[in-house]
Each structure stands twice: as structure tokens, then as C-alpha cells.
Chain A
Amino acid sequence: MGRQILHRLLISVPALLGVLFLCFCLLQVVPADPAMIIAGPDAKAETIAAIRLELGLDRPIPIQFVDYIGRVIQGDLGRSIISNKMVIEELGHTIGPTVELMLGAMLMAVPCGLALGTLAAVKRGSITDRIIMAFSVAGVSMPVFFIGLILIQYVGFKMALLPFTGRTGPVWAGGLPSLILPAVTLGSVLIGPIARLTRTAVLEVLGADFVRTARAKGLRETVVIVHHALRNALIPVVTLIGLQAAFLLGGAVVTETMFAWPGVGRLAVGAIVSSDFPTAQGAIMILAMAFLMINLIVDVLYVYLDPRVQRG
């Protein structure tokens, strides 16, 4: 198992370099001179020249790229043009809320999706099955912000049940109410695909010999479904979560912007709107790395869940 994980880690190196290269290019290809951007609009020529020298902008591009990687490893992502704080500091404040939001969304979506998908499979062909499947197709087709707008308007504003702007603090310090609406918004995108795939996977497993054996042994139906069918059906579902990571991340950017959630996505959007290039670059890099990380975790989980992969 260790070897598989190591192999998977090695495979992600080119993708990681690709991410770094694109982020490096971000500052290279902007229409303006990076030194001028960093120095700000009112900077003197000497300041710009000093920054140019400091950043090594007079050196060949490949050397600059290697330098850039070195700086990233040391955590030096430059300074924000707007707040004048170090970008890494800004990211440090925002990464926690983003992780919290994504975990919250998954904690909401995965059990719901599994339960609905299993129910649909067990009640195959019934009206329950049809309703769940219709709901799941509708969920896949719904823009994240539509769900957010409805929740903000009804649950947040009209019924005043939950807060809908900002984050009052970490979950363990009374921040849970402010997390619920953003997490439900983001998670609802995932319920549909998970339910759909779980249904297919459970249906496939329910016809398998070992399920028949389990039933023949006289096990209760709940045990057969939860322990035998659902557990095996989890494998494709875990893969799906990896595949959906892109949507989860994209959805997080939209959700954070809607709910004024102080995460990396909102930081990135704000930085782009205000032409704060170093911050935008850092935030995009962190988001891309988070995406690589999710896929890595999913692959490792996959090896853990499916012993056949370990042997193969």
C-alpha cells in the first residue's frame, strides 16, 4: 500500500510543477510590468528598479522560474498591493474558512447522497425512486448561486433562521450557525451526482452472489444493505467525489462570494477585481494545490477501500 501511495505522489509532481508554472506565468504575461504592479501606481523609477533587481526580473525566464519555486517553498508569495500585507499571511487567514466550508459541504452531501441513492436502489421502480432521481437530475442542473439565492432569501431573510453573511468564528467557537447556509448551498450540488451513482452501484451489488449468500444466512435486510451492499458501493462513490472536486472548488468560490465567507475563493475574486496581482496569484495557486490534494486523498482512500487495487 505504501508503494502505491508513493507512486501516486510521484505522479502528482508534473501536475504540481504545471500549477506552479501557470501561476508563475500569471505575473509574467500580465500586460503591465510586474515590478511596476508591485511598486504601485505612484512609485518612483528607483523603487521600480530596486524591485526589478530584488525579484530578479532582469534574469532569464527559466532561472526566474527556479527562483520562484524557491520562494514558494519558503512561503514568500510577495506582498498584497492593496493591504500591503504578505500574501502568505492573507492566505493563512482565509484557508481555514475555505477548508471548513468544503468539509461542511461534504459532511452534509455525502450522507444525504448515500442515503437517497440507497433508498432509490432498494425501492427501485417505485414512486420514491422516481422522485429521488428527478431531484438528483434537477440538482445537477441547478447553478450553485440559485440555491444560495433561495436560501438567503427564505431561510436567511424572511424566516431569519440563520445568518447569511460572513463567518462568526470557527465551528468550535460558536461559528456553526454561520456555516450552515453556505455549506448547504455548496453541498447541495454534490447530493445529486452522489445519489445517482450510489443507486447504480447499490443496484449492481444487490444482484451479486455475496449479497444472496448474506440473505441466505438469514441476516437482517438492513445489515445486508448497509454492511454488504453499501460498503461495496462506496468505491465508485469515492472516485466520484474526486471527480467532483473541481465542481466543489468552483462552487466554493461562488459560495464564498455570495455569503461574504472570508475564504480563499473570495480573496481571489476580490484580488482580481482590484488588480491585486500578487494576492490573486497566491490564491489561485493555493486553490489549484488544494484541488491536487483532494485528488491525492481520494486516490489514497481508494487504495484503502478496495483491496483489489492494493494487489494490482
Chain B
Amino acid sequence: MTVDILPAPSSVAAETEPSLPGRASVLRRLARDPVALTAAVLLTAIALAAVFAPWVAPYDPYYTDLSKAMQAPSEAHWFGTDNTGRDILSRVIFGTRNTLMLGLVGVIIGGFLGGLLGILAAFYRRLDGWIMRLVDIMLAFPAILIGLAVAAISGAGLTAVIIALVVATVPDVARVARGAAVGVMGQEFMEAGRAVGVSDATLIWRYLTLNCISTIFVFLTLRFGQIILIGSALGFLGMGAQPPTAELGMMAAQGRDFLFMAPHIATIPSLAIFVIVLAANLLGDVLRDVLDPRLQQ
């Protein structure tokens, strides 16, 4: 007997559980909900601007011109200029690029490692206790502390922030993945797969992981906003990107010194972070409602 005789595990899961809606229903829901639609459009626009920053930004984000320092928003400089006369709009666009990159790298690496740990814990019951203890210990370190600790060791920089964000993501994802995987482990097709001698690797990937992936994905989109907030807080504390690199949190911190003379220098990057996180949170909520309503609990 070969694996091919068995029905595809994902289709079995689809029959045993209330059907998981596909891409079409996500789009339908987005089109119906004006807030979610605005969030989706906004986030797409921000992401596109970040990706094509060199073409979109009106000025060189690193070009200083002291004769134009601390100008208020105007037609020439929509978001004004900072204390060294750099165009804030261009720096916000480049800063968004770095901030989004940090969030994405943190969520992707953290999601992968956390998902792997959670699924392995569910599959190999012997490892369960050990992995979950490790996760508990990781939970004992708030992300900001990890960032501070790594910065203390290796010096402040983007690496310190990425490590902090990964460590912040892993334990929560591991818990969610384990929860989802334990549910799948109870399904009959897992037992059937084992009975016909499907290898562990295939069972883990094709039977278990593919059935948990939507839960993990939805959870990660919900976490994305938080991860951006943590990353920019570390940037604000001076543990992340170092000048002159543009990163939104660090830009807000630099602007703080000129708060009373030119409040826009600090306020605009902070506002940009707020808009990104708000859009990500609103979109995450909709994706959760459509793709995985169980996570709402």
C-alpha cells in the first residue's frame, strides 16, 4: 500500500472541520468591510512605497542642507525637514523600509522556529515537556530586555533588534502551533498514515504542518503589529539602527531633542509607526475572523 491510496490529509481535515474559507472569501470580506479595505489598501501602498523607496522618495534621505534645517511641512517638503535639513518624507519612506524589514524578518524567522518547535512538541510526545519548558523560559524575557541584553553583548544595531524580535515571536508561536498540531494529531488520517508506514518526515510536513499552517499564519499577522512596535521601541532606545540610517523609532528619538522647536521631526515618524501598526492590526483581525475564527478565543 502506498501513501497515494490515502486521501490528501488537507482534504480530510477540510471534511472533518467546518470548511476553511479560501482566498476568494477573504477578498469578499475585505470588499464588504470599508475599514478593512482601507487598511488593506493603506498597507499595500505603504509596502510598495517601502519596496520602491529609491524611486518613490522625492529627495535623497541622507542629503543634509543646514540652510533648510527644521522647516515646517511645506509644498517643497511635505513632511518638513529635520535638524540637519534632510527631507523627512524621504526619510520616513526609507525608515518604513527598515522598520517593515525588521518586523518581517522577526516574524518569518520567529514564526518558522516557533512553528517547528510547536509541531515537534506535538508530534514527539517525549520532547513535549522539554520544548515547552524551554518556551516557558523564553517567555520569562520580555522582548525589550532581550534587545537590551543582545545590544549589551554585541553592540547596538539591527542584529540586536532582529534577535530580540525573533525571541519575542518564538514562544507564542510555539504555543499556538503546538495547540493546533495536538488537535490534528487526534485526527484519524494521522493514525492511518502511521499504519501504512508513512515516514515521520512526511507525516510532519504533509499531514501535520500543512494542516496547522493557516492557524500559524493568522497568528503571525496578528503579531506583526506588536513586533513592529517592539522593534521601533528598541530603535527609539538607541539599540537598533544607528545614525544616519533611517529607521522610524530612531528618527522619533532624534526628533525628541527638538520637540519644542520643531515638533514635526519626532511626531511624523511616530505617526507613521502608528498608521502601519493600526493597518496591520485591523487587517490581522479580519484575516483571523475569516481564516481561523477559533483564534478569537
Contact = CB atoms under 8 A, between A and B. Distances in A.
A184 to B, nearest CB: 17
A226 interface: no
B142 A15 contact: no
Interface stretch (A43-51, A112-120, A138-146, A205-213): A138-146
A273 interface: yes
A246 interface: yes
B267 A149 contact: yes
A152 B263 CA distance: 11
B149 A22 contact: yes
A149 B270 contact: yes
Where chain A touches its partner, the secondary structure class is helix
B239 A18 contact: no
Nearest to A15: B140
Contacts of A23: 149
Interface in A58-88: none
Interface string B108-151: 00000000000000000000000001001101111111001101
B232 interface: yes
Interface in B222-271: 225, 229-230, 232-233, 236-239, 249, 252-253, 256, 259-260, 263, 266-267, 270-271
A149 B278 contact: no
Contacts of A15: 136-137, 139-140
A26 B153 contact: yes
B156 interface: yes
Interface in A113-160: 137-138, 140-146, 149-150, 152-153, 157
B152 A152 contact: no
Most chain A CB inside 10 Å of its own CB: which residue of B249, B256, B282: B256
Contacts of A272: 148, 151-152, 156, 239
B270 A143 contact: yes
Contact of A153 (B154, B229, B252, B259): B259
Given A143-B270, A269-B148, A157 B259 contact: yes
Contacts of B278: 137-138, 141
Interface residues of B, number: 45
A30 to B, nearest CB: 5
Interface stretch (A103-111, A173-181, A248-256, A298-306): A248-256
A29 B133 CA distance: 24
Contact of B152 (A14, A18, A145, A277): A277
Task: Kindly state the interface size class of chain A when it binds its partner.
Answer: 35 or more
Interface stretch (A94-102, A215-223, A280-288): A280-288
A198 interface: no
A291 B148 CA distance: 15
B273 interface: yes
Interface in A15-30: 15-16, 18-19, 22-23, 26, 29-30
A26 B149 contact: yes
A35 interface: no
Given A149-B252, A272-B151, A284-B148, A250 B133 contact: no
Given A149-B252, A153-B259, A250 B281 contact: no
A188 interface: no
Given A22-B149, A277-B152, A287-B145, A254 B270 contact: no
Contacts of A280: 148, 152
Given A22-B149, A284-B149, A146 B273 contact: yes
A292 B140 contact: yes
Contacts of A258: 256
Interface string B148-168: 110111101000000000000
B60 to A, nearest CB: 27
Contact of B270 (A145, A271, A281, A284): A145
A66 B156 CA distance: 30
Contact of B137 (A14, A26, A138, A287): A14
A250 B140 contact: no
A269 B239 CA distance: 9
Interface of B: 133, 136-137, 139-145, 148-149, 151-154, 156, 225, 229-230, 232-233, 236-239, 249, 252-253, 256, 259-260, 263, 266-267, 270-271, 273-274, 277-278, 280-282, 285
13 contacts: A14-B133, A14-B136, A15-B140, A26-B152, A26-B153, A29-B153, A143-B252, A143-B270, A153-B263, A250-B143, A272-B156, A280-B148, A291-B142
User: Lowest 4 CB-CB distances: which A-B pairs, in order?
Assistant: A250-B144, A246-B142, A18-B137, A146-B270
Given A138-B278, A250-B142, 15 more contacts: A14-B136, A14-B137, A16-B140, A18-B137, A22-B149, A140-B225, A144-B233, A149-B256, A149-B267, A245-B142, A250-B143, A269-B148, A272-B152, A277-B152, A284-B152
